[in-house]
Amino acid sequence: MFEKNSKAHVILFALVLSVVCSLLITAAATGLRARQQENMALDKKVNLLRAAGLVDAVQNPGQEAINTLYDQRIEEAVVDRQGKIIETEDADGMHLYFVHAQDARDGHDFNDVSGYIVPINTRGLWGKIHGYLAFENDGQTVSGFSVFSHSETPGLGGEIESTWFQKNFKGKKIFNSQDKFVSIGIAKGKAGDLSKDKQVNYVDGISGATLTGRYLSEGIKNTLMKYEGVSVTFRQRQLTAKDGNPTHDD
């Protein structure tokens, strides 16, 4: 009887302990959910600001400064395939981020837009690669690039999140010398080893990470093809401005 009761007590104790632990874990997860969502939103803002060149890659301004700078300079919108802003997100809606030269809270003014940012979501070697690619307001010159999530091999494909790799994108063009769309490619070696007319369309590759470079190149190209309407809108505005006729916000 004593042995049987001991076993029953052990089983009962284990069950009670399991229930208590489960309740504590559930309570902790629920309590931290708001904080996790807040951190995710902050991380998104930091990477958008880094892509736009408004925050240095190693700079950590703090939560309040990040939120203030983001509200002042970044404006989120949804556009269709023609590059036009739409009020509600539908099946064809795509997220776009305008970079303002001045405080965006004063209202949307196209003439104040110094550039824009498109989200990059593509396959990698081991999982998805998520980042942001920023452009100047000419619709074809890259102003910055940031990667905030990936599953690539550390020291190899994982170098896509390194500062040296991301800085490669600044100043690159998505059109070649014949004004044909070619996107931005990751070279197998050094971009400087390519012919001179191709160097402006490629960034230095990562040694030992050929597949990561290939997948990222394909993903960037596919994304930019979807956002071609946005690029056209900015290029046309630039040409109009160069002709001496001022552009106006519709």
Spatial distance between the Cα atoms of 179 and 182, rounded to a whole number of angstroms: 9
Structure tokens at 79: 């556009």
Does the model's pTM come out above 0.85?
no
Who contacts 13 (Cβ-Cβ below 8 Å, separation ≥6)? none
Residue 25 has pLDDT above 80, yes or no: no
Q: Band the pLDDT of 21: cuts 50, 70, 90.
A: confident
Average pLDDT over residues 99-105: 78
Spatial distance between the Cα atoms of 205 and 192, rounded to a whole number of angstroms: 11
Spatial distance between the Cα atoms of 196 and 177, rounded to a whole number of angstroms: 10
Q: Band the pLDDT of 226: cuts 50, 70, 90.
A: very high
Q: CA dist 29 to 9, 26, 35, 152, 245, Å?
A: 30, 5, 10, 28, 57
Please report which helix (H) or strand (E) contains residue 31, including its range: helix 2-51
Average pLDDT over residues 70-78: 92
